[in-house]
Structure 1
Amino acid sequence: MYTKKNYSIRRMLSWTRRYIYIFALLATIPVILYEVLNWKWLHLPWLPIGLIGTALAFIIGFKNNASYGRLWEARKIYGGIVNASRLFATMVNDFITNEYAVKDKTDEEFFKIKKELILRHVAWMTALRHALRVKKAWETTSSNRSDKEVMKKMHIQEYAYSLEDELQGYLSEEEKQIVLSMTNKQTSVLNLQSKHIKELKFQGLIDNFRHMEFKDMIGELFTLQGKAERIKNFPYPRQFATLNLFFAWIFVTLLPFGLMTEFEKIGQTLLKTESTGLLFSFMADNFIWLTIPFSIIISWIFFTMERIGDVSENPFEGIANDVPITTISRGIEIDIREMIGDDKNEIPKPHPEYVNTQM
């Protein structure tokens, strides 16, 4: 019966299959040399290899814990953006009034002002997610063959469309050109937002207290933006990441040399028992060949955990388990545009869930 569980296992095996081929080769060659060519000197005691494996388990655990911390912090940041965006929409709805206005505005004029502010906020989220999708040298999806293969089967909005294309309809042509000319485009959008709110204050549509509340909200958005940029632009320390990978390959390479001796001892012990039969004798005499499957399994477990840490440390790349910033941003847009009473025919639909059925 097909379930999500065995589908996930199948995807995991597909994602790591290139490493499984390497593990099989690294395990088979020593056993052939040892058993077929009778190179009996080609073995290592298990104790030092076991110590390396124990140390590696602690190191990988530390890395995965730190990587998960980065992933979870990224998710909390976008949770903060969700909450701040809804509060901003509420402020736009309730704080902009004719109470102190120099010249009263009609309901249609108020709606135009509110929609302009909300669409500019969506433009900020759009610029931010495009900045977070920019590929960095240390990110694995741009260098690892397995990750690149997975990414080809996924639809990443920010890789399919340019920022200029996605800003269409959210900013005026003049504002769009200003934003695109800046180095930090998401910061320039918030700067435009702040200037617009100041103009509303001069028109008396926002009083001093409410203007300060809007400024505090702009400050909160800057804070959330800065936190996301910090995770994006400062990687997990490369000395730890490089050493982890180096130690993992040392352990995987040495593993069959230690297992061979252990399985040969088990086979010799079985031969000394009183059990009889050709099948039993054959199995006992060739027990050393179990080194290959056990080496592959142990190596796969260690290396898969290492790879999980690799892909978790950069939570904005767009790989399957990263923070779905595109989907979250679209959900926010729908919420806040509905809050101001925008035409439902103009509000975009949620992004579809792209399920990879090829892996």
Structure 2
Amino acid sequence: MIVSDTPSFGRVVQEAMPPLLLLFVWDVVVTIAYFTFAPKLLEIELPMTLFGTALALVLGFRDNSAYARWWEARSLWGLMINASRSLARQAITLIDDDPVKGKALSREIVLRQIAYVHALRCVLRGQDPLPEITPFLKADEIEELTGTKNIPNALLNTSARHLAHANGLTDSFRRVRIESTFVDIANAQGGMERIKRTPLPMHYRFLPQLFTRIFCVLLPIAIVSDLGILTPLGSTLVGLMFIAALQIGDDLKDPFSNTVHDVPMSAMCKTVEIDLLQTLGESAPPALVPERGVLM
């Protein structure tokens, strides 16, 4: 997630320059054609104001839909952070303070929750979670997880199963309370998986791109008779606005794409790790800070 108030010039050039260069070259071609051999042919009156207004509405609606997906993803991760803190607190306070079994089970559940959020982050980004979760789990559990399709869900099930078999360390009422937190965590994971596996409908992705390209192609033809040699400048600036609006939707439509525009899952997972380790009274790593205006 970009947190800097001012965009990086290099990043802007990397993302916007290729289509803008192509648009500028087309504007120059139209301008040269108008002044050399086809002035009458290019004096065409096109309803670009009407077309541009309709396109702006389409792009605005698409960007709102893409941002709604991004914001829902961020809200679900906020719920995940809160539920992880609640689970750690419940593991410490609702499991009997047995000097051997009770404390060991509490610590095991808390560490497994840290592994869970890291595993979920990696799965959503299409990465291998095992290297990330190895420091928090026992070797035999890592071996059991090898080949598992849904590692985060397996970790959650293991915690619930160990809690259910903790005879004498907690009662049924306490187990039900902790299980409700497991349900909150599973619901948040399900919401994230829904966003990841359900892209924007095809028409939301294809039609705005098609209409934007058509608009940029027709724009210099419609204004060359009025702007003359300034057509490449005017057409490129107007095209930049529509291309930028189109790019915003592309950047936000997948909040788990592991780019500078996605939800800062690495930072949030590190927050969970810090909070839960401190709940156990153990030393915690430093929080992640933005690098070059980007928080991952």
TM-score by length of 1: 0.77
Residues 96-151 of structure 1: per-residue CA shift (max 9 Å, x gap) = 115xxxxxx31x654332221111111111221111102xxxxxxxxxxxxxxxxx
CA contact (8 A) 2:26 2:217 kept: yes
AA paired with 1:322?
D
Unaligned runs of 5+ in 2: none
Q: Which runs of 5+ in 1 are unaligned?
A: 99-104, 135-157, 264-287
**Match of 2:210?**
246
- Match runs of 1:173-322 below 5 Å: 173-200=139-166, 203-263=167-227, 288-322=228-262
Q: Does 1:62 align with 2:61?
A: yes
C-alpha distance in 2 between matches for 1:244 and 1:212: 49
Q: Which residue of 1 aligns with 2:19?
A: 19
Could you say which residue in structure 2 is the equivalent of 1:112? Answer: 104
Amino acid at match of 1:252: C
Determine the structure 2 residue equivalent to 1:137. none
Q: Which of structures 1 and 2 has the bigger CA Rg? A: 1
Residue 29 of structure 1: how far off its partner (Å) = 0.5
What is the count of residue pairs matched by the alignment?
291
Who is 1:169 aligned against? 135
Distance (whole Å) between structure 2 residues aligned to residue 317 and residue 324 of structure 1: 11
Q: Which moved more, 1:37-46 or 1:163-172?
A: 37-46
**C-alpha contact 1:115 1:340 (8 A) present in aligned 2:** yes
Give the secondary-structure state (helix, strand or coil) at the position aligned to 2:55.
helix
Aligned equivalents of 1:83, 1:356: Cα separation in 2? 26
* Counterpart-to-counterpart distance in 2, 1:61 and 1:9: 24
Given that residues 45 and 261 in structure 1 are in contact (C-alpha distance below 8 angstroms), is that contact kept between their aligned partners in structure 2? no
C-alpha separation between the residues in 2 aligned to 1:339 and 1:304? 45
Counterpart code for 1:31: T
| Structure 2: distance between partners of 1:23 and 1:324 | 33
**Residue 70 of structure 1 contacts residue 313 of structure 1 at CA under 8 Å; is this kept in 2?**
yes
The alpha-carbon deviation at position 320 of structure 1 amounts to 1.5
1:353 aligns with 2:290: yes
RMSD: 1.8
1:319-351 Cα offsets, whole Å, 9 max, x none, are 222110111011111001101212x1xx33323
Q: % of aligned pairs identical?
A: 28
Alpha carbons of structure 1 residues 77 and 6: separation in structure 2 relative to 1, 3 Å: closer
Question: Does the Cα contact within 8 Å between 2:42 and 2:225 map onto a contact in 1?
Answer: no
How much does 1:178 deviate?
2.0
